[in-house]
């Protein structure tokens, strides 16, 4: 098994913390928020997709990816993330784009460094750790929001 295959397997497995939550979610839960927080369940789903697309493009070099990361640009929940099918389709597209570009990395590519404004200079391997932890972090928030949040219809 190549380094790329191992990293892909690791990322895909880690992402199940997020995708398993999406199995039972319904439209009414998308507006839920935890007390004293700003981001709804819908925002969190969209945000994970936005950041995955940004990683595909800016970290791993997927030049064909076009992304308007609304959640990153707004930096807060604008209340527009209320259509479940659109959110599920968007996060699936983000997954597929990031998966596709990860699959194209050579073993040597993982040692190459990239620099971003968000987290400085990292190897691509370290950057993959960053996207894994980002998704897991927000999956935890999403889990708590779905379980304990209010604001659903």
In this prediction, residue 152 carries a pLDDT of 55
DSSP state of 98: H
Residues of the chain short of pLDDT 70, as ranges, are 152-153
Domains identified in the chain, total number: 1
Q: How confident is the model over 96-113, as pLDDT tens digits?
A: 999 999 999 999 999 999
Whether residue 153 is contained in a domain is answered as no
In this prediction, residue 117 carries a pLDDT of 85
Whichever domain contains 112, its CATH number is: 1.20.120.450
In this prediction, residue 151 carries a pLDDT of 84
Tell me, letter by letter, the H, E, C secondary structure of 52-89: HHHHHHHHCCCCCCCCCCHHHHHCCCCCCCCCHHHHHH
The pTM (predicted TM-score) of the whole model is 0.95
Identify which of 16, 43, 15, 17 has the alpha carbon closest to the alpha carbon of residue 29: 43
Give 3-state DSSP helix, strand, coil % of the chain, rounded to 5. 65, 5, 30
Please give the residue range of the domain that contains residue 76.
Answer: 3-148
């Amino acid at each position: 098994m190549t380094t790329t295959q191992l990293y892909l397997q690791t990322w895909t497995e880690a992402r199940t913390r997020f995708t398993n939550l999406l199995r039972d979610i319904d439209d009414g839960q998308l507006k839920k928020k935890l007390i004293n927080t700003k981001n709804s369940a819908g925002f969190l789903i969209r945000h994970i997709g936005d950041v995955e697309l940004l990683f595909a493009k800016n970290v791993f070099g997927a030049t064909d990816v076009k992304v308007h990361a609304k959640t990153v640009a707004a930096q807060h929940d604008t209340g527009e993330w209320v259509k479940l099918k659109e959110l599920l389709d968007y996060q699936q597209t983000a997954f597929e784009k990031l998966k596709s570009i990860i699959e194209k990395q050579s073993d040597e590519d993982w040692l190459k460094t990239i620099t971003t404004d968000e987290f400085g200079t990292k190897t691509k391997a370290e950057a993959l750790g960053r996207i894994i932890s980002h998704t897991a972090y927000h999956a935890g928030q999403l889990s708590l929001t779905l379980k304990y949040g209010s604001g659903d219809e």
